[in-house]
Structure 1
Amino acid sequence: MYPDDLKYTREHEWIRFIGSTARVGITSYAQEALGDIVFVSLPEVGATIESGESFGEVESTKSVSEIYAPAAGEITARNEALATAPELINSDPYGDGWLVEFMVTGADVIEGLLNADEYAEHAKEH
């Protein structure tokens, strides 16, 4: 259910490290809890994000939820397909439904992140 090659936050984001770059999205647990996603607000390329701080929003038919940065960095890409097809987050949260990519800054990026088994346990508790 939760890919082993990713790290997870307690706020239900995932992060995939590719060298000094990272790709971020929300977990299948989060998209299921939100329901049908109808709009996504993401930062512009070049914006900086801080670990643990909100950098965007996901709006569903049920509510609006903040997206939190699992690490600090500078946005290098955003998933432009979500502007016209936000439902990609529901149908493929770990693939086509990714949110942003960023150049990671800081050495403490892994600190506090969960592996797949730890996240599965965390999700069960909520």
Structure 2
Amino acid sequence: MASWAFSAYVGRVAAWVLVLALLAAVICGWLWNAREAWAILYAALLSVLNMLILGSRLLALPAAPAAASARLGAAVLQRWVLTILGLLLALAWLHLPIVGLVIGLLLAHFVYLGFMLRERSKKRR
């Protein structure tokens, strides 16, 4: 039951990130240009992939603390590698603007922070 609740939580966060990124991309595309919009969507999708990687690793953690620690460390390393390679791809090959990438990454992180604060306030009641 706990694993289902956690996967639903990750799904809700990912859905909110994608919906808000789409809204931000439409607004930025209308105000600036389409390249900014694509950069926002790209960065938000990269963040969602990172969340899904970590979420899947947390669901499959072994019971032994040492093995769980090693698996979690590998997941964090995998996320950093994915993020760095994804951003290098966006800048060097796709030539996406930095402002749009930053907006997309910050949007994803603020949505995640909002969900975490909401969960924390629920536990305090």
Q: Tell me if both proteins adopt one fold, taking TM over 0.5 as the criterion.
A: no
Highest RCO, 1 vs 2 (Cα 8 Å, sep ≥ 6) = 2
TM bucket, shorter chain: under 0.3
TM-score of the two chains, using structure 1 as the length reference: 0.26
TM-score of the two chains, using structure 2 as the length reference: 0.26
- Name which one, 1 or 2, has greater alpha-carbon Rg: 2
Where is the strand percentage greater, Structure 1 or Structure 2? 1
Where is the helix percentage greater, Structure 1 or Structure 2? 2
